[in-house]
Amino acid sequence: AIGVLGNQGYVDDSSIRTLPGVRETIHVSKPYKMVSKDFHPKPTIVDVSGVKFGDGETPVVIAGPCSIETEEQMMAAAEQVKAGGAKMLRGGAFKPRTGPHSFQGLGVEGLKYLQQAGKASGLPVVTEVMRIEQLEVICQHADMLQVGARNMQNFDLLKEVGKTGHPVLLKRGMSATIEEFLAAAEYIVAEGNNNVVLCERGIRTFEKTTRNTLDLSVVPLISEMSHLPIIVDPSHATGKRSLVTAMSKAALVVGAHGLMIEVHPDPTKALCDGAQSLTGDGFAELMDDICGLLSYLGYSE
Ligand code: PEP
Ligand code: MN
């Protein structure tokens, strides 16, 4: 396979077609090439400050609150998720809320609490970037950049995120096809940044009982199509605390390289996504459940 990038139109293949041993040339024009397995068959392992995502690695559990609310809340959450066995900590400082009157996040002050909690617990941290101007300060405070569902096709943001070289967690847009999802990842990789972890977080369907519909088939599908790791976020996919453990287990069975779980010290008081957040105890139970499954699936830890 020969990957051609940057061409403005049809590629003249006469110099290849006439080589000895070439019977025919088949043009494949996908909007993504660099993330495709056709051109890069070896699975990519993404290393986030020592935590590895990808084929052959134990699935990584990222956990923490939806939003960073106070220093105490973030410290308590970090302690709980660390005790449960999470390998990374999450928390949003810049929140993409549906309405302008909802809590929008603490901004840079929140990043400080997140970094502090990450250091105290020894967990690398991931947080969402919404705008290009936030990139510099987020890179200073976080080990991984999250591009949320609502920004999956913010192409200018994707390009700049690519230029940072920082590991990226790219969430699937709520109505994005697989091709659009991979094409979005291509924007980041095309800037020379291969450290991209994809995240299935549920898609919008006619069903309203759950917040979204978890499209688990993308996990094995993406593994067929792309060399990039893919994780699952059952919290946003279901919107319901009671469903998170079952869908976490399902995700691991179909081959997810990790999970992202919302955990809050007191979900009833959460400023964002309380209904889908587990308590520290709930998270510990989930991790207990998962532990048995992981050893059944052949992972060491
Ligand atoms: C989040 O992770 O808190 C979030 C906003 O997720 P999504 O972009 O998938 O809605
Ligand atoms: Mn959330």
pLDDT at 47: 98
The amino acid at residue 227 is H
Instruction: For residue 48, give both structure tokens.
Output: 């986030």
Q: How many CB atoms neighbour CB 47 within 10 A?
A: 14
Residue 300 DSSP class: -
Q: Whose CA is nearest to atom 3 of ligand 1?
A: 66
Task: Kindly give the number of the ligand 1 atom that is closest to the alpha carbon of 199.
Answer: 9
Residue with tokens 């978890």: 214
Tell me the mean pLDDT in the region 284-288. Answer: 98
Task: Kindly give the number of the ligand 1 atom that is closest to the alpha carbon of 146.
Answer: 2
Centroid of ligand 2 to alpha carbon of 202 (angstroms): 12
Q: What is the 3-state secondary structure (H, E, C) of 79-144?
A: HHHHHHCCCEEECECCCCCCCCCCCCCCCHHHHHHHHHHHHHHCCCEEEECCCHHHHHHHHHHCCE
Name the band, by pLDDT with cuts 50, 70 and 90, for residue 9. confident
Q: Whose CA is nearest to atom 9 of ligand 1?
A: 149
Q: Nearest bound ligand to CA 126? A: 1
Task: Kindly give the number of the ligand 1 atom that is closest to the alpha carbon of 202.
Answer: 9
Question: 127-153 pLDDT, tens per residue?
Answer: 999 999 999 999 999 999 999 999 999
Tell me the mean pLDDT in the region 192-200. Answer: 98
Q: Nearest bound ligand to CA 204? A: 1
Report the residue among 90, 150, 272 best suited for mutation to probe ligand 1: largest number of ligand atoms under 8 A from its CB.
150
Average pLDDT, the chain: 96
pLDDT at 30: 80
Name the band, by pLDDT with cuts 50, 70 and 90, for residue 12. confident
3-state DSSP call for residue 234?
helix
Q: At what angle do helices 178-189 and 218-225 cross, to 10 degrees?
A: 50
CA distance 64 to 26: 47
CA distance 258 to 240: 19
Kindly state if the Cβ of 236 falls inside 6 Å of ligand 1: yes
Alpha carbon 250 to its chain centroid, in Å, reads: 17
CB contact set of 242 (below 8 Å; sequence gap of 6+): none
Question: Cβ distance 66 to 220 under 8 Å?
Answer: no
Question: Cβ distance 52 to 60 under 8 Å?
Answer: yes
Q: Whose CA is nearest to atom 4 of ligand 1?
A: 148
Q: Whose CA is nearest to atom 10 of ligand 1?
A: 149
pTM, rounded to two decimals: 0.94
